[in-house]
Amino acid sequence: MDRLDNTVRPYAWGSTTAIPGLLGIEPTGEPQAELWMGAHPGAPSRTARGTLVEVIAADPARELGGATVAKFGPRLPFLFKILAAGAPLSLQVHPDLEQAREGYAEEERRGVPVDAPHRNYKDPNHKPELICALTEFDGLCGFRDPVRSAELLDGLGVDSLKPYVDLLHAHPEDAALREMLTAVLSADPEDMAHTAAEASAACARLGGDYAPYAELAHHYPGDPGVIAAMLLNHVRLQPGEALYLGAGIPHAYLSGLGVEIMANSDNVLRCGLTPKHVDVPELLRVVRFEAAEPGVLRPEAAPDGEEVYETPIDEFRLSRYVLPPGGASHDLTRATPQILLCTAGTIRAGEHELTPGASVFVPAGETAEVSGTGTLFRATVVA
């Protein structure tokens, strides 16, 4: 197995202290948003044999296993991260596989540069993802019942929101949500900025259920995404709990430290809370206008002490081991590629000693015996 040297991404929303605190190093004062583990070309993990991209490209069948290559091609199909949100991320959705392929092909046909700020599809892949909390973790996930959203908006006492409240009451659920989001994102920017400012002040004054939206408004004053966000469920994960975010589900991470795994794609369609491009027609094509409670996942027990976070896709499989003092060693050998990440304690993985934030890549079929005391996350694929 290969010890990984991973890159920290300094996005502006990142916490200045959470990742340094996990790694046991001094903060730099700069935001440290994500620690990437994998073979994403933008920031591949480094090994003694070269970058993980180079290692896999040299012998895909050996590193990934024949079944993984047959199913996903000669690439690692997931990206593994530690994510540290010190401020809210953009409100966003991801396309399904068919939408991604169609959108990518269309933008290629039109000759839109892949690095153009208005490009929606960077690749022809979908981007389902799973976030597992290491600390208390706040986010927005999926549409709440539109009648409940109408009550929340009406409770702000902002006159310019009343037409939106009426929209939520006047139609069947899916049409109500679609028309409401369309109206918010298509409104006159100056009028919406004024409405958002009034709503933000009311959220800050009222607190309680409005507090998360007041925090959004503090970071994104006047952004229509503040109003759009009030259509979504607020969820607070406790350590060990997770959220699975499939295609078309609007979401935003607000604060906290977590382990995230996703299909290896960069396709994001933004709904607001961002200065970046918002393509309203394409967004409305991708969003699933279905109200539902956020499905908080808890790990399910599997043999040999493994706890699995069950998801409906094959590009990744996330599980964890909580190893007690004096416990037995575990054989994690698997016919698919793995990344093992320590988040607490000290774990021995083969010849490598892992402390919080340290990780290794295990090629398909390579012996992977672990022992020690602490928490180990295991990222692999279903092939």
Q: What residues are labeled active site?
A: 270
Three-point CA angle 14, 17, 23, nearest 5°? 105
- Residue showing tokens 């795994």: 261
Buried b (16+ CB within 10 A) or exposed e, 94-133: bbbbebbbebbeebeeeeeeeeeeebbbbebbbbbbbbbb
The identity of residue 8, as a single letter, is V
DSSP string, 95-131: --HHHHHHHHHHHHHTT--TT-TT---SSS----EEE
DSSP string, 284-338: HHH----B----EE-PEE-GGG-EEE--S-SS-EEEEEEEPTTPPPEE---SS-E
The identity of residue 5, as a single letter, is D
User: Could you give the CA distance from residue 75 to residue 68 in angstroms, rounded to a whole number?
Assistant: 9
Q: Cβ(35)–Cβ(8) under 8 Å?
A: yes
Q: How much of the chain is in helix, strand and coil states, percent to nearest 5?
A: 30, 30, 40
Cβ-Cβ contacts under 8 Å for 169 (sequence gap 6 or more): 146, 147, 150, 176
Cβ-Cβ contacts under 8 Å for 208 (sequence gap 6 or more): none
H or E element, residue 193: helix 189-206
User: Could you give the CA distance from residue 339 to residue 336 in angstroms, rounded to a whole number?
Assistant: 10
